[in-house]
Amino acid sequence: MLKENLQELHQQTTPFYVYDMNLLRQTLQTAKKEADKYDYHVHYAFKANVNAPILSEVLKNGFGADCVSGNEIKAAIENGFSPEDVVFAGVGKSDAEINFALDQNIFCFNCESSHELEILNELAEKKNKTARIALRINPNVNANTHKYITTGLEENKFGINSWEIDNVLELLQTLKHIELIGIHFHIGSQITDLTVFKNLCTRVNEFQEWFTSHNIKLQHLNVGGGLGVDYYHPEENAIPDFAAYFGLFNQFLELRPGQQVHFELGRSLVAQSGTLISKVLYIKKGITTNFAILDAGMTELIRPALYQSYHKIENLTSDKAAVKYDVVGPICESSDCFGKAVELPETNRGDLVALRTAGAYGEVMASNYNLREKAKALYI
């Protein structure tokens, strides 16, 4: 898609994001088709990308919204999502955010601590409302991913640990403005080893047994998101294997009659459709490799600096013999590096460079450090 549209790419001010809307549509349609096979409900994790044209495609394909802030709920509603399809997660919901979500009558709050439940109950009581909640349980399942994006281990701040659930249930009986409708799990992001999700199913089944033995009926199980994408082969594996992913839950999750299963996918739906395009400013001699200095940096795409994560780098405008470069940005930080000893066709000032698989957690994590301007987005 990128090379076919070089002329249009050349006309833009760099750096900028470009989105392949055909790929986005195909990805969303595939996910929806595979989820529908089992009547699964998917809420799109807004945190991955909140650009209006992207949200519009997500909405058209019948996904709900998984939000982690009042502003994300606002964005969901402004972009046409129905409040009944909005879930609100997060360990630190502010009173103002909770009040806003209560006013909107959202579908469900995913609650992460006893203290949060008490405050939610108080705020709901003031409005004479009842808040529907799912308890986010920390299942202590290792997601085999980067430690900064692992969320389901007991040492993580997320969810209610298993040994606290007894107390939480006792508390819930006293909270008259809260209705427990489900349980929620999310063990981490960029998970490529599907056996991890099988382990999650085993834990969810155990928790279900426990709730059943306490005569508690749960209308839904929310198993979160986390399905990873192939950062190394964005062309060959442009669409994640949703069939295997949903099929695995269908095989291993034990449901009670009438129970719904909810998912919160972010990255797998949008990552491959986005690319950060940058121009080469300078080539500079290094000790072992040369530096290719781009006009995009960690302010546009922070993932490599933050998690040492890999994004495939391509020179779109050179087909000369390969040379190795440390590909870096202009920001005053040594971590502002997209890749070391990256093999690229011989690169010169003015070449266009693509940083692939940047549609998720790219633009949304941008900053204006060094007073950088926000990169624009182009939709092709």
Ligand X SMILES: N[C@@H](CCCC[NH3+])C(=O)O
Binding-site residues for substrate: 267, 303, 307, 333, 361
Site residues for ligand PLP, window 137-166 (CB under 6 A)? 151
Q: How many angstroms separate the Cα of 296 from the Cα of each of 17, 193, 328, 374?
A: 10, 32, 8, 11
Which residue lies nearest ligand X, judged by its C-beta? Answer: 361
Of 274, 269, 308, nearest to 145 by C-alpha is 308
Nearby residues of 92 by Cβ (< 8 Å), 6 or more positions away: none
Separation CA 151–CA 224 (nearest Å): 11
Question: What tokens does 11 get?
Answer: 């006309």
Contact status: 261 vs ligand PLP (CB under 6 A): no
Residue 136 contacts residue 110 (beta carbons within 8 Å): yes
Contact status: 224 vs ligand PLP (CB under 6 A): yes
**For ligand PLP, which residue of 225, 274, 330, 359 counts as binding (CB under 6 A)?**
225
- In the complex with ligand PLP, the residue whose CB is nearer, 66 or 85, is 66
Query: What residue ranges in the chain does DSSP mark as E strands?
Result: 16-19, 41-45, 64-67, 86-88, 108-111, 131-138, 160-161, 178-184, 220-222, 260-265, 274-284, 290-294, 313-315, 322-328, 337-345, 352-355, 376-379
Site residues for ligand PLP, window 175-204 (CB under 6 A)? 186, 189
Q: Residue 355: which of ligand PLP, ligand X, none does it interact with, CB under 5 to 8 A by kind? A: none
- In the complex with ligand PLP, the residue whose CB is nearer, 34 or 264, is 264
Q: How many angstroms separate the Cα of 141 from the Cα of each of 105, 137, 185, 201, 328?
A: 32, 11, 10, 10, 36
Q: Residue 317: which of ligand X, ligand PLP, none does it interact with, CB under 5 to 8 A by kind? A: none
Annotated binding site: 226, 264-267, 303, 307, 333, 361
Closest separation in Å from C-beta 364 to ligand X? 8
Q: Residue 303: which of ligand PLP, ligand X, none does it interact with, CB under 5 to 8 A by kind? A: ligand X
Contact status: 112 vs ligand PLP (CB under 6 A): no
Question: CB under 6 A: which stretch of 29-37, 264-272, 305-313, 347-355 binds ligand PLP?
Answer: 264-272
Contact status: 124 vs ligand PLP (CB under 6 A): no
Contact status: 45 vs ligand PLP (CB under 6 A): yes
Footprint of ligand X on this chain (CB under 6 A)? 47, 149, 189-190, 303, 361
Separation CA 27–CA 338 (nearest Å): 26
Q: Residue 330: which of ligand PLP, ligand X, none does it interact with, CB under 5 to 8 A by kind? A: none
Contact status: 267 vs ligand PLP (CB under 6 A): yes
Residue 212 contacts residue 251 (beta carbons within 8 Å): no
- In the complex with ligand X, the residue whose CB is nearer, 156 or 260, is 156
Closest separation in Å from C-beta 186 to ligand X? 7
- In the complex with ligand PLP, the residue whose CB is nearer, 143 or 342, is 143
Alpha helices in the chain (DSSP H): 6-10, 21-36, 52-60, 70-78, 95-103, 114-126, 165-174, 195-213, 242-252, 267-270, 303-307
Question: CB under 6 A: which stretch of 209-217, 248-256, 261-269, 275-283 binds ligand PLP?
Answer: 261-269
Task: Find the length of the chain.
Answer: 380
Residue 132 contacts residue 179 (beta carbons within 8 Å): yes
Annotated binding site for pyridoxal 5'-phosphate: 226, 264-267, 361
- In the complex with ligand PLP, the residue whose CB is nearer, 98 or 331, is 98
Q: Which amino acid is at 229?
A: V
Question: What tokens does 131 get?
Answer: 């808040």
- In the complex with ligand X, the residue whose CB is nearer, 41 or 47, is 47
Separation CA 32–CA 61 (nearest Å): 7
Of 120, 110, 126, 117, nearest to 158 by C-alpha is 110
Q: Which residues make up the interface to ligand PLP (CB under 6 A)? A: 45, 48, 66, 89, 151, 186, 189, 224-227, 264-268
